[in-house]
Structure formats: C-alpha cells, structure tokens
Structure 1
Amino acid sequence: MNAKAVPVLMYHHVAPRPGLVTVKPQTFAAHMERLARAGYTTLTADRFLAWMQGRVDVPHKSVLVTFDDGYLDNYVHAYPTLKRFGLHAVVFLVTGWIGDGPVRPNADGNEDLPDLPSHKACKQAIAEDRADDAMLRWSEIELMESDGTIEFHSHTHTHVRWDELHANASTRLDALRHDLAQSRDTLRQRLGRESRHLCWPWGHYDTGYQTLAREFGFDAQYTVERGLNLPGDDPLHIKRIDTKERPAGWLARQLFTYRSPRLGRTYLALRGR
C-alpha cells in the first residue's frame, strides 16, 4: 500500500534541559523506537520531494523527520538514537553558525559528554560569538552524513527576519538573495552537493521570498504550519508537526491522523485550521 499523505515531524533540541522546543533524550528515544517498531519508513528529503511531485510512490507508513538550526545536541543525543534504530533524519542548518573543530563525544558509549545549553543559552552564545558552544561543527556534520543517518540542508545563513531589518522591499530581497547564496555555496563547498531544500526561519516567508528561493534551486520549502502533505501539493509550502515533550503514544496518534487525508482534514477542521 502506498502513502496517501506523509507527515513531517519538526524537532529542535534533544537535550536534558527542558524547554519549549526541547525534548528529553529519553523522550526522543521513545519516539524513534515507536517509529521503528510500527514499521515506519523515514524518508530522505529528495524522496519526499519526488513523492510530493508525483514522481515516486512511498510506503503508506512514511514520515520525514526534521530538525531546525543544527544544535550540538542533535549530534550528542539524536544521532546515536537514530543510528541505533536504523532511521534517517534531515537537519536544516543555519550555515553561518557552524564552525570547525574536532568531533566531540556523543551518547554512543561516551560518559564525558559536552555541556548542552538550554535554548535560551544557545541564543545567548550565538549573540556573543560563542556559537561553537551551542552548534554543530562541520566535522560532526560530515560524520553524520557519511553513514547516511542524517542529511543536511539550508535554514539560511544568518537566521534573521529580513522584514524587520529592511523596510524597503527591494533592499529586503537583496539581503535575502545574498543570504541564500551564502547558505547554498557553503553547503556545496562543505558537503559537495547542491541542496534543494530550504526551511524558513520562524516559518516567516512571502511569495517574493518563495520565488527568489526557487531561483536558487530550493524546490522544496518548509514551513512551521501544521497540516497535511499530499501528492501534488505545492512543495513550496510543506507543512510540519511540531513535536513536544510528549509521550510516544501522542506521536503515534499524530502520525496516524496526518497520514490519512480524511482524518487529517477532519482534525484540522476541528482545530479551526
């Protein structure tokens, strides 16, 4: 049986410190174990896009697992868990926040793990030019890509709100054009390939942003809007499910709902969406 709808999960942090966009390592492990035991196929970004465009079929229990920003805890905790269960994920990187350095320990058999700041502390570290305390390194990214567990795409280069920085529309688009070029070129230079996938910071975009990003080859653009993804839908408006510090049973119910067009539409109507 082929998928009629594919849910896209959105994570940020997998870390012990609680927070609005953080799930604990134990919770994330329970989520991934539920996916694996239920027989879900975790898609690559390109296969998901091909499915949306009607070019391929995917199994009826398919899901795309995504992370935003590229925090260090994605390597320390999420990566070993995904690898243990044989699952695949996508990380949207803010390329301007990623630096160099040796690979650090992760939870795969290591006891002396790096300190993982809270989301608020991560933002402070980035603002104080200490992004390496909070974010992935290129060495870690290359390691995770090398075994096929995690792939990396664009979350822009600077993660800013261009509408708040530039009142003039032309200036705003020029700034966005420069940012997208930096992100695309950095990913190509570091990972040796072009990325077709872009996640908008804070889910903020407009048609001008989308058109410009498409010109850069970003054929798939991801939002923070909850909803269904169906074959033939606009890939410039991909919807995602925001995961929280909730049990695996909650996640299973979300996936069951959002891989059924009928149930998904009914649920969204009841929620007023």
Structure 2
Amino acid sequence: MIRISRRQGCFLIIGLIFLVILSSSVMRTTAVVAGRDSNRAANSSLADVPILNYHKVDNFYHALSVSPQEFEEQMAYLAKNGFTTITPDQLMAYLNHDRELPEKPIIITFDDGYLDNYTNAYPVMKKYGFTATIFLVTNLVGHDERFMTWEQVQTMQQDGFVFGSHTVSHIPLNKLPREQAMAELIDSRKEIEYRLGTKTRYFAYPTGAYNSQVEEMVKQAGYKAAFTIRYGQAGAESNPYALERIPIFRGQHTFRSFFVRLNAAPILERFGLIRN
C-alpha cells in the first residue's frame, strides 16, 4: 500500500489545479476575450455562482458527450451536497440587485439542443429536482433527428427549464458580416419566442467565439446576458455579456474531472489565477 504524506497530498491537489488551468487555456483558443464592463454597479462582496456547461448526454465516445451513467453520478453529487439549480433571471437579479439566492446555487446549461438532452438528461434532472438552461440552434430544432423537437422543448419548459439562443445555424458570429450576424441573433430569438410564448433573454456564443463587436451586437439584438466557454464562475466582476462557465467533458476519469473543475474554480479565483 502506498502512503501519501500531507505535504505530498497538497502538491497533488496543486498539480490537479494546474491541470485545470492548462485544459482551460486550450479551450479558450476559440474565444476572443471581451473586456469587462467597468461601469457595472456590482457588489464585490457577492459570492460567485458556478455555471456548468454540457452538450450531449449519450454513450458515444466523444469529448462533448457525457454518458447517462456519468451524468447521473454528477447530478447525485450535486444533490447530495446541497446544490440548488437557479435560472439566469435569478442570477442576473442577484448580480445586479443583490436579490437573495439559495445557499448553494448552481446553473446547469446545455448548448445546441441535442435530442439526448430530452431523452437522457431530462429524466435524471427531474429525479433530483433540477432544471437547466438550454441554448438552441433554431434551424436544427424539429428539422434534424439528432436534435429535439419543439414539442419536447415545450414539455421541458413546462417543468421549469429555460431556453435561450445559440443562433440560427451555429456559425461563429465573429466570422460573419455584421448584417448576417445580426440576423442570426434576432431570427433565432424571435423563433424561440414564437414557439414558447416567452421572452428570450439569454444567449450562448457558438464555439465560444466572440469579440467586443459581437458582444455589442448581442446587446442590440435584445439579450440580457450571454454565456462563454471561459472557465470560471459568474460573480460581481463578471461581464454580463461574457459570463464564465465550467465546461464538462468526457474523459478517462470523467467524475474526477467534474469534481476538480467544480471545486477548483473558487480556489483559482481566490488566488487570481482565472478571470484575468
């Protein structure tokens, strides 16, 4: 049996944290980091809120896929440890107006709107009393068998799930002419509002790619906030149009990665190692 001293254990934890930093730096290569909104009146004493970012929940061996068994293990961990899912509206009311949140708030998000979000993730989340925010690629909903139908989206909405835009066709907005980018933003928002009968206030950048011009277009298109793939938690210093998330991927030790990413973020932020 190999014994590990307390000092060795500390070095192991530090090593895991720096692995998180390394992996997050790779993910950020597709994103153009926008500047902070220095005029935002935020209370710096507010606690940060973790926002998990998933894509698929299936048995395919793909980086964006988490198996149903692994997903349930992660949801069980959150439930056992007292986390409560909140909506983006609750998050923004907290960050902007210091409105009260549950003791351990968390937002669970999915990008794209895959069918398995409905068939595999939805039943597990209902089991643990959780909801999620799902960002839809509207041209794929009801038109591609790999993605949800509008009827399925409406069913989840009735159970408290929130739906935002991930554009019409999932093209990175920084690659498009302004007129086309605005159409992607506005047309997707209007389609979701028409289908669900509610305002569409939130947006997630396709591939995480954005810049200051794209951020300004998102504001002009009528969105209240936008989500990136930058690793970190949402807090008082966050730009509401560049909110950080904690991406969850499949790996050799998926739960270990989930655990480290979720629990390392507050440590990294405390020492100023993320949100730079």
State the TM-score, normalizing by the size of structure 1.
0.78
Displacement, 1:195? 1.1
5 Å-filtered alignment, 1:90-101, equals 90-99=133-142
Which residue, out of 133, 145, 148, partners 2:145?
133
SS in 1 for 2:229: coil
Q: Which amino acid aligns with 2:138?
A: T
Q: Tell me, yes or no, if the aligned pair for 1:227 and 1:268 is still in contact at 8 Å.
A: no
Instruction: Tell me the matched-pair count.
Output: 230
Structure-1 separation of matches of 2:270 and 2:88: 27
5 Å-filtered alignment, 1:98-247, equals 98-99=141-142, 131-148=143-160, 150-164=161-175, 166=176, 172-245=177-250, 246-247=253-254
Q: Which amino acid aligns with 1:16?
A: N
Structure 2 residue aligned with 1:110: none
Q: Tell me, yes or no, if the aligned pair for 1:34 and 1:248 is still in contact at 8 Å.
A: no
Q: Provide, for residues 2-46 of structure 1, a one-character-per-residue CA deviation record: whole Å limited to 9, x for no partner.
A: 961111111000001111110000000000011111110111121
Structure 1, unaligned runs of 5 or more:
100-130, 167-171
Structure-2 separation of matches of 1:39 and 1:81: 16
5 Å-filtered alignment, 1:74-89, equals 74-89=117-132
Displacement, 1:264? 2.7
Structure-2 separation of matches of 1:202 and 1:247: 21
Q: Tell me, yes or no, if the aligned pair for 2:174 and 2:214 is still in contact at 8 Å.
A: no
Which residue, out of 67, 73, 76, partners 1:30?
73
Q: Which amino acid aligns with 2:165?
A: S
Displacement, 1:162? 4.3
* Structure 1 residues 244 and 267, CA gap change in structure 2 (3 angstroms): farther
SS in 1 for 2:231: coil
Structure 2, unaligned runs of 5 or more:
1-44
SS in 2 for 1:240: strand
Q: Which amino acid aligns with 1:251?
A: F
Structure-2 separation of matches of 1:267 and 1:229: 16
Structure-1 separation of matches of 2:173 and 2:163: 23
Q: Provide, for residues 181-223 of structure 1, a one-character-per-residue CA deviation record: whole Å limited to 9, x for no partner.
A: 2111101110001111000100111111111111122121111
* Structure 1 residues 214 and 179, CA gap change in structure 2 (3 angstroms): same
Structure 2 residue aligned with 1:7: 50
Q: Tell me, yes or no, if the aligned pair for 1:65 and 1:90 is still in contact at 8 Å.
A: yes
Q: Tell me, yes or no, if the aligned pair for 2:109 and 2:133 is still in contact at 8 Å.
A: yes
Cα RMSD, aligned residues only:
2.1
Q: Which amino acid aligns with 1:141?
A: V
* Structure 1 residues 39 and 177, CA gap change in structure 2 (3 angstroms): same
Q: Identity percentage over the alignment? A: 30
SS in 1 for 2:230: coil
SS in 2 for 1:58: coil
Structure 2 residue aligned with 1:61: 104
Structure-2 separation of matches of 1:242 and 1:182: 27
Structure 2 residue aligned with 1:264: 268
State the TM-score, normalizing by the size of structure 2.
0.77
Q: Provide, for residues 211-244 of structure 1, a one-character-per-residue CA deviation record: whole Å limited to 9, x for no partner.
A: 1111122121111111232125320110111102
Q: Tell me, yes or no, if the aligned pair for 2:173 and 2:209 is still in contact at 8 Å.
A: no
Structure 1 residue aligned with 2:116: 73
Q: Tell me, yes or no, if the aligned pair for 1:3 and 1:61 is still in contact at 8 Å.
A: no
Structure-2 separation of matches of 1:139 and 1:35: 29
